[in-house]
Amino acid sequence: MKDEQFRYADERFADIQMLRYRVEGFDALSLRQKKLVYHLSEAALYGRDILWDQNCRYNLPLRRMLEAVYVAIKRGDKRLGILPEAETRAFGEYMRRVWFANGVHHHYSMDKFKPTFGEDFLRKALRDIEYPVDETLMRLIFDDKFLPKRVNQADGEDLLQTSAMNYYSPDVTQAEAERFYAEQKNAEDPHPVMYGMNSRLERDEKGRLVERTWKSGGMYGKNIDRIIDCLSSAHEVAENDKQRQVLASLIEFYRTGDLRTFDQYTIQWVEDTLSEVDFTNGFTEVYGDPLGLKASWEGYVNLRDNVATHRTQQLSDNAQWFEDHSPVDSRFKKSVCNGVTAKVVEAAILGGDLYPASAIGINLPNSNWVRQEHGSKSVTIGNLTHAYAEAAKGNGFREEFVIDKATRDLLNTYDEALDDLHTDLHECLGHGSGKLLPGVDPDALKAYGSTIEEARADLFALYYIADPKLIELGLVPNEEAYKSQYYSYLMNGLLTQLVRIELGKQIEEAHMRNRALISRWVMAHCDGAMTLVVKNQKTYLQISDYPALRLAIGKLLAEVQRIKSEGDFEAARRLVEDYGVEIDADLHNEILSRYRALNLAPYKGFINPCYNAVRNDAGEIVDVKITYGEAFDEQMLRYGRDYSL
Ligand code: ZN
């Protein structure tokens, strides 16, 4: 299919624009590799319900109930009387929002959705189709005060008691959970596991805290057994011995839930740099737990893009040079930068917490000591960034928010390429750089840890994107190009990222806090090299001295690395609370109304392609076909039907 014929932008609802991505490299794979993609994709889809349940304990029954009504409406079920059109439409939108968020809370703001259809509408529809009414679910949908927020990060409140996530039973307090995990930690252990990562913290009959582990025969055991089956099929068609070892260890981990096995699996996975088809499958990111310990389930499969990977290879080959020349205190630097492998990939399937909203760059594993001793694997997902760029062409955004034509031209010329480069730098050098001082608890920054870590990686990227070394390596065309990235990054951090937040709310999500913190801190410490100016009642970012910004970025990088390396919780708290949280209400209002006038969706997510296995009479797979046409709701209903146990 040619670019012009492929529709990157699909349907639009609420604050969401659905996109499609293409997997260009799939057809060129061998049959064996296609089978590998197929089995790994199935494994990535079987974990979906784990994530739904992690997000809130009522999400799965809620989804089943809503889908029963949705399907009845869609198929024109005769039992339904005549439904008011506006409410039917409002219900359809609510259903899509719940699908998109993998639950009843917004995927980004974490706030519970407010339905725009009435309770009577839903009760009547349920009665018509004879679906039992569950009063708790009714409360979940219609009572604003019941479980209003998935992850609460408000300083000073009990973060577990005020969050609807399902990683702890509802009666466990923050202080208890923190004590429980503090007691497990042994500061002497150079190779600590990620305590609590794959379990729910509950109470036994005697009221003592116990962990219920997610594994075969344990919590989510049925889903995990199916994942194990798919991984076993993948094992048979693995590309090489290393990948076979990786799959065997992951299967072993899913069987036992043993976190030492998990670490072993991630080390082997980092060492597998040869496979063209690669994957992540398991309990991975901790943003969904207010304490940052418990990992949400995600899975995806990728194919290496060999041409673009040459670009990131240049970065990882020079990792030690970047580490040595950073403005960070030498006590916090790695003396040996090993194994920062970076590649550009195409996503082949997205699952769990990477679907439908997805990251575009991923650096794993998350264990600090594994990263220090064995390195990490970093990917930039090229076919997703390309889909974003294609869908954004000509949407009027830059005309509205960029200060003048010269700056707009700068962005139009360089920004797509420099954005990709920023992601590469962030993932393959930023997160991989620096070290903790001996004895520092990797979780010392607690609720501020994620924001500080993202700031560290972004600052590393921003500092180096302006370095002549990148021109020398042929990754940046000239001395002007980096300015496009500075402008777009800082404009986003100061102004345009606010479009993702409701008026009256503060900044809560870790990546957004990080961008605000960097942009505002740099503005306050650059002697006027950048300012906000108002022209015709519209606020714009004006930059008069780019090199001065780089100096400020370097200073902040040094401080953020110090905070991380020393585990300086108080400094982390101050930096985030002073620069990364509050929003000026007038400015927020202005940005929202300018953005509204453009009629764009602030969030985007992806519809997956479908993989169909063609089997012979003996049931063996003889081909795997990829298709792209499936509608969002059909995909959601199919996943609910085929991958729910
Ligand atoms: Zn990051």
Ligand 1 centroid to Cα of residue 560, in Å, is: 14
| Pair (598, 457) in one structural domain | yes
| Pair (142, 276) in one structural domain | no
Q: Is 411 among the domain residues?
A: yes
Using CA atoms of 400, 404, 405, 410 in order, give the dihedral in degrees to the nearest 10: -100
* E strands in 358-461: 361-364, 376-381
Ligand 1 centroid to Cα of residue 122, in Å, is: 41
pTM: 0.81
SS (H, E, C) 172-211: CCHHHHHHHHHHHCCCCCCCCCCCCCCEEEEECCCCCEEE
Ligand 1 centroid to Cα of residue 69, in Å, is: 39
Please name the residues in contact with 393: beta carbons below 8 A apart, sequence gap of 6 or more. none
End residue of a domain, out of 126, 149, 172 = 149
Ligand 1 centroid to Cα of residue 206, in Å, is: 41
CATH number of the domain within which 500 lies: 3.30.540.30
Q: How many CA atoms lie within 13 A of 36 on its CB side?
A: 23
Tell me the average pLDDT across 521-544.
97
Q: Is 1 among the domain residues?
A: no
Residue 575 gets which letter from DSSP? H
The predicted pLDDT at position 428 comes to 77
Ligand 1 centroid to Cα of residue 435, in Å, is: 16
The dihedral region occupied by 28, where left means phi > 0, alpha psi between -120 and 50, and beta the remainder, is alpha
Ligand 1 centroid to Cα of residue 427, in Å, is: 6
Ligand 1 centroid to Cα of residue 292, in Å, is: 14
Ligand 1 centroid to Cα of residue 510, in Å, is: 10
Ordered DSSP codes for 578-596: HHSS---HHHHHHHHHHHH
The predicted pLDDT at position 338 comes to 60
Structural domain containing residue 581: 221-603
Please give the C-alpha separations between residue 231 and each of 42, 248, 254, 591, in angstroms, as whole numbers: 9, 8, 10, 47
Please give the C-alpha separations between residue 467 and each of 310, 325, 425, 474, in angstroms, as whole numbers: 19, 10, 12, 12
For residue range 173-231, what is the model confidence (pLDDT) as tens digits?
999 999 999 999 888 899 999 999 999 999 999 999 999 999 999 999 999 999 999 99
Q: 202 forms bridges with which residues in the sheet?
A: 210
The predicted pLDDT at position 389 comes to 86
Q: Is 235 among the domain residues?
A: yes
Ligand 1 centroid to Cα of residue 348, in Å, is: 21
Tell me the average pLDDT across 94-116.
97
Structure tokens at 128: 């018509």
End residue of a domain, out of 149, 165, 185 = 149
Predicted confidence band at 501 (pLDDT cuts at 50, 70, 90)? very high
Structure tokens at 415: 């920004």
Tell me the average pLDDT across 76-99.
96
Ligand 1 centroid to Cα of residue 421, in Å, is: 14
| Pair (458, 556) in one structural domain | yes
Predicted confidence band at 310 (pLDDT cuts at 50, 70, 90)? confident
Ligand 1 centroid to Cα of residue 231, in Å, is: 27
Percent of the chain with pLDDT over 90: 87
Ligand 1 centroid to Cα of residue 449, in Å, is: 12
Ligand 1 centroid to Cα of residue 375, in Å, is: 15
Please give the C-alpha separations between residue 13 and each of 95, 313, 604, 610, in angstroms, as whole numbers: 11, 39, 10, 22
Ligand 1 centroid to Cα of residue 191, in Å, is: 23
| Pair (233, 88) in one structural domain | no
Q: Which residues of 602-634 are buried (b: 16+ CB within 10 A; e: fewer)?
A: bbbbbbbbbbebeeeeeeebeebebebebebbe
Ligand 1 centroid to Cα of residue 490, in Å, is: 17
| Pair (453, 347) in one structural domain | yes
Which amino acid, 141? I
Tell me the average pLDDT across 503-517.
95
Question: Does the pLDDT value for residue 3 go beyond 70?
Answer: no
Ligand 1 centroid to Cα of residue 81, in Å, is: 50
| Pair (422, 506) in one structural domain | yes
Ion ligand 1, residue ranges at CB < 5 A? 454, 457
Pairwise pLDDT comparison (389 vs 351), residue with the higher score:
351
Tell me the average pLDDT across 71-100.
96
For residue range 120-156, what is the model confidence (pLDDT) as tens digits?
999 999 999 999 999 999 999 999 999 999 999 888 8
Structure tokens at 126: 């349920």
Question: Does the pLDDT value for residue 485 go beyond 80?
Answer: yes
- Lowest mean pLDDT segment, chosen from 1-5, 331-335, 473-477, 576-580: 1-5
Q: Is 315 among the domain residues?
A: yes
Ligand 1 centroid to Cα of residue 363, in Å, is: 7
| Pair (464, 357) in one structural domain | yes
Tell me the average pLDDT across 21-37.
96
Q: Is 628 among the domain residues?
A: no
The predicted pLDDT at position 1 comes to 43
Ligand 1 centroid to Cα of residue 426, in Å, is: 6
The predicted pLDDT at position 242 comes to 98
Please, is 593 exposed, middle or buried when counting C-beta atoms within 10 Å of its C-beta (0-12, 13-18, 19+)? exposed
Ligand 1 centroid to Cα of residue 537, in Å, is: 35
Ligand 1 centroid to Cα of residue 518, in Å, is: 14
Structure tokens at 133: 């009414």
Tell me the average pLDDT across 253-277.
96
Q: Is 95 among the domain residues?
A: yes
Q: How far is 459 from 560, CA to CA, in rounded Å? A: 9
Predicted confidence band at 340 (pLDDT cuts at 50, 70, 90)? low
End residue of a domain, out of 121, 149, 177 = 149
Q: How many CB atoms lie within 10 A of CB 241?
A: 10
Ordered DSSP codes for 3-26: TTTS--EEEEETTEEEEE---TTG
| Pair (94, 241) in one structural domain | no
Ligand 1 centroid to Cα of residue 414, in Å, is: 22
Ordered DSSP codes for 594-613: HHHHHT--SEEEEEPPEEEE
Q: How many CB atoms lie within 10 A of CB 184?
A: 11
Ligand 1 centroid to Cα of residue 461, in Å, is: 11
Q: Is 27 among the domain residues?
A: no
Ligand 1 centroid to Cα of residue 214, in Å, is: 26
Q: How many CB atoms lie within 10 A of CB 544?
A: 11
Ligand 1 centroid to Cα of residue 424, in Å, is: 10
| Pair (430, 559) in one structural domain | yes
Ligand 1 centroid to Cα of residue 45, in Å, is: 24
Which amino acid, 261? T
For residue range 547-585, what is the model confidence (pLDDT) as tens digits?
999 999 999 999 999 999 999 999 999 999 999 999 999
The bridge status of strand 16-20 relative to strand 603-607 is parallel
The predicted pLDDT at position 191 comes to 95
| Pair (238, 142) in one structural domain | no
Q: Show the CA angle centred on residue 184, arms to residues 180 and 186, nearest 5°.
A: 140
Predicted confidence band at 470 (pLDDT cuts at 50, 70, 90)? very high
Ligand 1 centroid to Cα of residue 428, in Å, is: 10
Tell me the average pLDDT across 239-267.
98
The structural domain count of the chain equals 2
Q: Are 347 and 383 in contact (CB under 8 A)?
A: yes
Q: Is 22 among the domain residues?
A: no
Tell me the average pLDDT across 108-130.
97
For residue range 402-411, what is the model confidence (pLDDT) as tens digits?
999 999 999 9
Q: How far is 460 from 302, CA to CA, in rounded Å? A: 26
The predicted pLDDT at position 204 comes to 95
Predicted confidence band at 316 (pLDDT cuts at 50, 70, 90)? confident
Ligand 1 centroid to Cα of residue 608, in Å, is: 23
Question: Does the pLDDT value for residue 4 go beyond 50?
Answer: no
Q: How far is 560 from 554, CA to CA, in rounded Å? A: 10
Mean pLDDT, the chain, rounded, equals 95
Token pair 């404009």: residue = 491
Q: Are 428 and 340 in contact (CB under 8 A)?
A: yes
Q: How far is 440 from 567, CA to CA, in rounded Å? A: 6
| Pair (122, 256) in one structural domain | no
| Pair (142, 237) in one structural domain | no
Predicted confidence band at 372 (pLDDT cuts at 50, 70, 90)? confident
Ordered DSSP codes for 471-524: HHTTSS-SSSHHHHHHHHHHHHHHTGGGGGS-TT----SHHHHHHHHHHHHHHH
